[in-house]
Amino acid sequence: MALTGIQILKMLPKKNCGECGIPTCLAFAMKVAAGQTEIGECPYVSDEVKEQIGEASAPPIRTVKIGGGGQVFTTGGETCQFRHEKRFENPTGIAVLVDTAMDEAAVAGRLERFKSLRYERVGVMLKADLVAVKDTKDDRAAFTALVKNVLEQAEDAKLILISGDPETLAAGAQECGERKPLLHGATLDNAEALAKVAQDCGCPVGVKGKNVDDTVAISEKLLALGLKDLVIDTGARTVKAAFEDNVLARRAAVKTKFKPLGFSTINFPCEITDDPLLEAMVASVLIAKYAGIVVLSDLQGEILFPLLLERLNIFTDPQRPMVVQEDVYPINGPGENSPVLLTCNFSLTYFIVSGEIEGSKVPSWLLIKDTEGLSVLTAWAAGKFGADMIAQFMKKSGILDKVKHREMIIPGYLASMKGELEEELPEWKITIGPREAGHLPAFLKEWKA
Ligand code: SF4
């Protein structure tokens, strides 16, 4: 039975030193009990206590790390079935496939797209995470050469090595060194040999079942052999079957704590269809329903970008607003005669407004007031974007020394605030800017100090 936070606290050293990244032992114990962090994060607990608490408080979907040396992809760690119950923890990994049957140019193309298709949105870098290297020709030398190539070309890629031969996987893992790959996949026939390879090189293992029952049997065998870090592939190669298996595995793990299915799933949209658009749709369905990793046949911007945005949405904590720091942000190299704009610290607002200012090429100062992640109107209604607070922020922000003029633009709908603000900041002229962010560039180009 799971331990409560208080039971866990009793077993902690109670130094309240914060080395675990959480200020007090009590807060740490609560997080361990909620499955939000691991007991191993406290450097002072004994191995015995670690084992005792770790087992009892581990999330029902085990947290598994792929990679190493500062480049780690984390999957699993999930504690709930529906995001509104708490949140989803570790975003689905997006992988691109390369295999030993492909010619050099095709491999180079996929790796190039892996490296170049990156997008920064709301302060987060969105990109594919992993490269799956498949031994399609049953040729160990060709496989290790391909692994080497991927390691050199895609320096931040985490690797999934796919072969039915444990020795081939061992050779690939050896090439990877500290960048511990996921070794895929273990079957009932090769489980013992692959478990030995995984234990020797310290790599996680992918279970490759023919169906759910077979997956459970392999998983149980690997657990009995002492392996802990698994990822499961139930062998489903239709979207319906993959969807059903993902749901079944998640439910079995979360609701009934069924250990053999208490792992992230790896899905292969690349093997479900040859149509790239359909493949993207399959991946989209599986990202929404519990895929730990999806392996795509190729990466194209028009396919990858929507998947990355979908993933960002699903794995954003619904209970915590995304915020940017309260500050003065210079955009396009502003000077003393540049316009001054003010808005809230809800990150979506910030990135939309700053993006439009940037696109206008007009050098500007953007002041971001802390509104605890609320949008402008909501913050105003909640008393967190009042004239007195803005006036105080303006004074301490240092903007008075940065510009000669005294005009501030507040984009949006807050016309009712103009009078109050002008009372609080008598030297300032307050302009309520365009209602739509998209109209900011034209507005700023016309603006004069
Ligand atoms: S590192 Fe350990 S002792 Fe220190 S605060 Fe965290 S739980 Fe407590």
For residue 23, report the distance from its CA to the centre of ligand 1, in Å: 8
Pick the CATH number of 5-57 from 1.10.15.40, 3.40.50.300, 3.30.70.560, 3.20.20.140: 1.10.15.40
Phi then psi dihedrals of residue 215, to 5 deg: -60, -45
Q: 51 C-alpha vs ligand 1 centroid, how far in Å?
A: 17
Amino acid present at 388? D
Torsion-angle region of 86 (φ positive above 0: left; ψ -120 to 50: alpha; else: beta): alpha
Nearest-atom index, ligand 1, CA of 28: 7
- The verdict on the CB of residue 385 being under 6 Å from ligand 1 is no
pLDDT < 70 positions in the chain:
1-2, 35
Q: Are 310 and 337 in contact (CB under 8 A)?
A: no
Tokens 């603000």 belong to: 421
Q: What is the pLDDT of residue 59?
A: 86
Atom number in ligand 1 closest to CA 13: 3
The Cα–Cα gap between 315 and 330 comes to 30
9 lines ligand 1 (CB under 6 A): no
Which of 9, 11, 14, 17 to mutate to test ligand 1, by most ligand atoms within 8 A of the CB atom? 17
CA distances from 129 to 67, 73, 115, 163, 352 (A): 11, 7, 10, 20, 26
- With the C-alpha atoms ordered 209, 38, 77, 260, is the resulting torsion angle positive or negative? positive
17 lines ligand 1 (CB under 6 A): yes
Contacts of 344 (CB under 8 A, 6+ apart): 350, 368, 369, 371, 374, 375, 376, 379, 385
Closest atom of ligand 1 to 41 CA is 1
Can you give the residue ranges of every domain in the chain? 5-57, 64-314, 327-446
The preferred substitution site among 24, 38, 44, 46 for testing ligand 1, maximizing ligand atoms within 8 Å of CB, is 44
Let me know: does 87 contact 78? Beta carbons within 8 Å: no
- Is the beta carbon of 40 within 6 A of some atom in ligand 1? no
CB 265 within 8 A of CB 271: no
Residue 13 Cβ < 6 Å to ligand 1: yes
- Cβ atoms of 183 and 206 within 8 Å: the answer is yes
Query: Which of these, 102, 96, 60, 92, lies nearest to 242 by C-alpha position?
Result: 92
Query: Which residue has the least CA distance to atom 7 on ligand 1?
Result: 25
* pLDDT for 263: 97
Q: What is the pLDDT of residue 1?
A: 54
> In this structure, which CATH number among 3.40.190.80, 3.40.109.10, 3.40.50.11600, 3.20.20.70 belongs to the domain 327-446?
3.40.50.11600
Distance CA(311)–CA(127), nearest Å, equals 11
Which residue has the CA at smallest separation from atom 6 of ligand 1? 20
Determine which residue's CA is closest to atom 8 belonging to ligand 1. Answer: 25
pLDDT tens for residues 253-300? 999 989 999 999 999 999 999 999 999 999 999 999 999 999 999 999
| Beta-carbon count within 10 A of 55 CB | 10
Q: Is 15 in the pocket of ligand 1 (CB under 6 A)?
A: yes
Token match 């990793």: residue? 293
User: The tokens of 188 are what?
Assistant: 């009932």
Which residue is closest in CA terms to ligand 1's atom 2?
Answer: 42
pTM of the model as a whole: 0.78
Nearest CA to ligand 1 atom 3: 15
The CATH number of 64-314, from 3.40.50.300, 3.20.20.20, 3.30.450.40, 3.40.50.2020, is 3.20.20.20
pLDDT digits 0-9 by tens, 41-64: 899 998 888 888 877 777 899 999
pLDDT at 323: 87
Q: Given this model, what pLDDT does residue 124 score?
A: 84
Counting ligand 1 atoms within 8 A of each CB, the residue from 11, 14, 15 with the most, and so the one to mutate, is: 15
